[in-house]
Structure 1
Amino acid sequence: MSNSPSRPETDENARLKRIIRAAEEAFKRFGFRAVTMELVAREASVAKATLYSHFENKDALYLAVCARMARLLRCAVERALAQPETPLDARLAQSVIAKHRMVFALVRGSAHAAELFSAKDAMAGDIFAALDEAILKALADAMAADAALAPSAARLARALYLGGAELASRSASAAEMENELAAFAAVHLAGARTLAGKESQI
Structure 2
Amino acid sequence: MSSATLVSLDARSVEALPLLSAFSLEKLPLLAQRLLRAPAATAFTKDEEHQLAEIGGMTHDQVGAFLALLQSLFQAAGRRRLAPSVFAQELQRLSIASTTSDVLANVWSHEQAAYEATLIEASSHHAPTLIEAQWRLHVTMADSASKGMATPSALFHMQESNGVAWDMEMDHTELHAFLVQLDAIQAQLDALAAAP
Q: Please give the range of the TM-score, normalised by the shorter of the 2 chains.
A: under 0.3
TM-score with structure 1 setting the length = 0.27
Relative to its length, the structure with more helix (as a share) is 1
Select the structure of larger CA radius of gyration: 2
Asked which structure has the greater RCO (Cα within 8 Å, sep 6+), the reply is 1
| TM-score normalized by the length of structure 2 | 0.27
